[in-house]
Amino acid sequence: VNPGRVKSRDGLEGRAASFFSLDWQHGLKREGEGRHWWLVIRDFMDNGDSELVYEDKLYTETDVLKCLDEHSCSRNAGAADCTWDKSYVTDFCLRSGIHCFESTDKASFSHGKDDGRKIYSVAEPLHAGMNRQPKYDYYVQDIGNGPEMLPDPREPMLWRVSKYGIMDRLGWIRGEKSGVKWEVPGDVSEEYKKQIDSWIFVKTGKPHPRTGEDQYGWKEVYKHNHQHYNESCICVFAEMAGLIGVPA
């Protein structure tokens, strides 16, 4: 936490990108919660440095879209988690021009012989899995193998992501060895502080079957982990954009 900074709609001056992530929740009735969204917006510089711009709970689709517009966030610069209540979240995202992430237990996904494996799958047009019409018209492009119909760059897409792989990215970018700044302004909410450390990296207690070395894994220590998930998803977009890790 940087006490010398406060959250601002202006964000980082000269930023390379402004990414966001959304997590939809039905709410816990025993805690008096209704349906709501958790939203994080984070700005990145070309060198991978980043700063939290916005974090909060929002209650309606209108609130979400208004907040993104107020922070000058492009609708296709972020994603919503559609792992649960998939039909509602994907419908909202297709209507709004927002991408979707679906969390899985897979460690990685193949991107072909030349691109190896990544913690996110190859993108699929969101409308295709919903058996719906695309939000934007497809266009024809010939990239050497004959004419091909391609989705508009603004078309909402779906990626499947590695649940623990994206946590690893967040853990790495927050760590000292990453070499980049991952900053949080001093006026961040207490709830964000709890949620961002809702998962911790610990020894599993099970030695590696071949080497006998200690093994480590993620352990949940706070049930409201939504902002930790959002920040993990934002790391995926930063990696896709080549701002951290190996350029895509």
**121-136: per-residue pLDDT in tens?**
999 999 999 999 999 9
pTM of the predicted model as reported, rounded to 2 decimal places:
0.92
Q: Which among 205, 225, 222, 188 is positioned nearest to 42, based on CA atoms?
A: 188
Task: Tell me the C-alpha distance between 96 and 52, whole Å.
Answer: 23
- pLDDT at residue 248, as a whole number: 43
What percent of the chain is modeled with pLDDT above 70? 99
**Model confidence over 154-179: pLDDT tens digits?**
999 999 999 999 999 999 999 988 99
- pLDDT tens digits, residue range 180-237? 999 999 999 999 999 999 999 998 888 888 888 888 889 999 999 999 999 999 999 9
For the chain, counts of helices (H) and of strands (E): 6, 14
Mean pLDDT of the chain: 93
CB count in 10 Å sphere of residue 65: 18
